[in-house]
Amino acid sequence: MTLARRISLGCIADDYTGASDLANTLTRCGLRTVQTIGVPAGDLELPELDAVVVSLKSRSIEAGLAVSRSRAAEKWLRGHGAGHVLFKICSTFDSTDAGNIGPVMDALRADSGDTIVLVTPAFPATGRTVYQGNLFVGSVPLNESPLKDHPLNPMHDSNLVRVLARQSQTHVGLVGLADIARGPDAVRARLADLSGKGFGAAIADAVFDRDLETIGAVALEHRLSVGASGIGLGLARALLASGKVESSATKPPSNAIVGGPAACLAGSCSQATLRQIDSAEQVMPVLHLDPEQIMAGKGEARRALAWAKGRLGDGPVLIASSSTPDQVAALQSRHGRDEVGHAIEQAMADVAEGLVASGVRRLVIAGGETSGAVVDRLGIPGFLVGAEIAAGVPVLRAVGAANGAMLLALKSGNFGGTEFFSDALELMR
Ligand code: ADP
């Protein structure tokens, strides 16, 4: 792997869209950031960078596997200069008593040699705050938020000191808001006190961005931290304030024109995406796939490709599998929920692969799982994060892709305004 110089901040994210969210936050703070899909292969060429976010899918897998994958990512990041590594988790602390936050934190802490690690999922900009160790989602405690009904990891306890202690081998303490508000020296003193008593981790309260700046400044003196994009913001600001990194405002990322045909794919069935498809009908040809035909075999993806190939020369096209909730429920009851989801994701990946083979170099994708399936299929090893299309959705410039220069936008379902598809294409030249 070639890096023009060593990175300052290494991050390991436990899912793809969380990784994009963090990479976007770091970029907006002024760090030149690449998001990689998995641990980069030896020959991946990367531009000059400040931060790398390695995206894993380790949030809900078996804890031992999450630990080994996270350790491999940490080893790669340290090997490329990262003095500090952030283990990026969900801002709603998605996990179970079996993990994976605690086991991964324990392993990375042992590898880093730190005696104590700061942990906070707070991200005030998105309504995630922590007070007295309790996580609030908007105005309600975590255990009263919709996360109490999450299908994989229902969160029934908002006290993160308790939640993390159940998953970790170490004692978990608290750095309360009173210490955070008094500034870095008070936080250092509290951590030294906890560490002296044998605590290996501390949940840090944070209610405002300035709290994250205090936490970031102290965390940067350690080798490991755990948290969501909020602590990423704190670390980025601390790196810039320390002078270790120069803001990318003075060295803008490449905006070289990629050109070539452009296409949009929608696999999300969210209300926002359905509205965005309706709006796109006014400005580009739209093909609605027949989900029942997708369940029947590969023919529907081939039909879509033939349809697109005849039109790509005239401008962007949109291919959508999206249906209304009633139609989705009916299809799922006939074929099973997982089977339908998987088959449609793979059909979208087939279409994307065919489009790229036909010369498409600018691709907008709506749907988190859909994006994951497409990116995996295209074998794109990483992305340089660029301009923001809508809150949390940046333009991504592929790095090290076999097909050369490519621009992508990956949107999770509910993101973006009504004109999202044309807004994205406007910025993806
Ligand atoms: P979001 O970001 O909105 O959650 P995802 O892509 O993550 O979007 O999830 C949408 C899921 O719905 C995917 O598994 C996709 O394959 C599936 N899907 C897409 N179209 C349909 C449809 N017409 N009927 C049923 N499921 C669908």
Count of other CB atoms within 10 angstroms of residue 121: 27
Give the Å distance between the CA of 268 and the centre of ligand 1: 4
Give the closest residue (by CA) to ligand 1 atom 14.
341
354 located within any domain = yes
Give the closest residue (by CA) to ligand 1 atom 19.
267
250 located within any domain = no
Give the Å distance between the CA of 319 and the centre of ligand 1: 13
What are the tens digits of pLDDT across the range 316-332?
999 999 999 889 889 99
Kindly tell me the sign of the dihedral angle through the C-alpha atoms of 127, 130, 131, 135: positive
My answer on whether 235 and 308 are in the same domain is: no
Ligand 1 pocket, mutate which of 15, 152, 365, 370 (most atoms under 8 A from CB): 370
Q: Which atom of ligand 1 is nearest to the CA of 289?
A: 23
My answer on whether 81 and 208 are in the same domain is: yes
Distances (CA, A) of 46 to 25, 36, 125, 256, 284: 20, 10, 30, 16, 35
Residues of the chain with pLDDT under 50: 1, 4
CA distance 23 to 425: 21
**pTM for this entry:** 0.86
Give how many domains the chain has, as a whole number: 2
Q: Which atom of ligand 1 is nearest to the CA of 348?
A: 16
Q: Which of 242, 273, 308 is the last residue of a domain?
A: 242
CA distance 253 to 32: 7
253 located within any domain = no
My answer on whether 285 and 147 are in the same domain is: no
Give the closest residue (by CA) to ligand 1 atom 21.
322
Three-class secondary structure of residue 1 per DSSP: coil
Ligand 1 pocket, mutate which of 274, 340, 377 (most atoms under 8 A from CB): 340
Q: Which atom of ligand 1 is nearest to the CA of 344?
A: 16
My answer on whether 136 and 89 are in the same domain is: yes
My answer on whether 100 and 231 are in the same domain is: yes
Q: Residue 36: what residue type? A: T
Give the Å distance between the CA of 344 and the centre of ligand 1: 7
CATH number for 288: 3.40.980.20
Note down the domain range covering 102.
Answer: 9-242
Give the closest residue (by CA) to ligand 1 atom 12.
341
Strands 382-390 and 393-399: antiparallel
275 located within any domain = yes
pLDDT at 168: 97
My answer on whether 283 and 236 are in the same domain is: no
My answer on whether 225 and 287 are in the same domain is: no
pLDDT at 102: 98
Give the Å distance between the CA of 322 and the centre of ligand 1: 7
CB neighbour list of residue 393: distance below 8 Å, 6 or more residues apart: 24, 409, 410, 411, 415, 416, 420, 424
CATH number for 58: 3.40.50.10840
Give the Å distance between the CA of 56 and the centre of ligand 1: 21
pLDDT at 270: 85
Give the Å distance between the CA of 289 and the centre of ligand 1: 13
pLDDT at 42: 75
1 located within any domain = no
My answer on whether 222 and 317 are in the same domain is: no
My answer on whether 187 and 293 are in the same domain is: no
109 located within any domain = yes
Give the Å distance between the CA of 71 and the centre of ligand 1: 32
68 located within any domain = yes
Give the Å distance between the CA of 269 and the centre of ligand 1: 6
Task: Give the position of tokens 């080994």.
Answer: 68
Ligand 1 pocket, mutate which of 268, 331, 348, 420 (most atoms under 8 A from CB): 268
pLDDT at 5: 55
Give the Å distance between the CA of 279 and the centre of ligand 1: 19
My answer on whether 36 and 173 are in the same domain is: yes
15 located within any domain = yes
My answer on whether 194 and 274 are in the same domain is: no
Ligand 1 pocket, mutate which of 264, 274, 344 (most atoms under 8 A from CB): 344
Ligand 1 pocket, mutate which of 264, 265, 269, 271 (most atoms under 8 A from CB): 269
Task: Give the position of tokens 């060429």.
Answer: 45
Ligand 1 proximal residues by C-beta, below 6 Å: 267-270, 291, 321-323, 328, 331, 340-341, 344-345, 367-370, 412-413
Three-class secondary structure of residue 72 per DSSP: helix
My answer on whether 130 and 196 are in the same domain is: yes
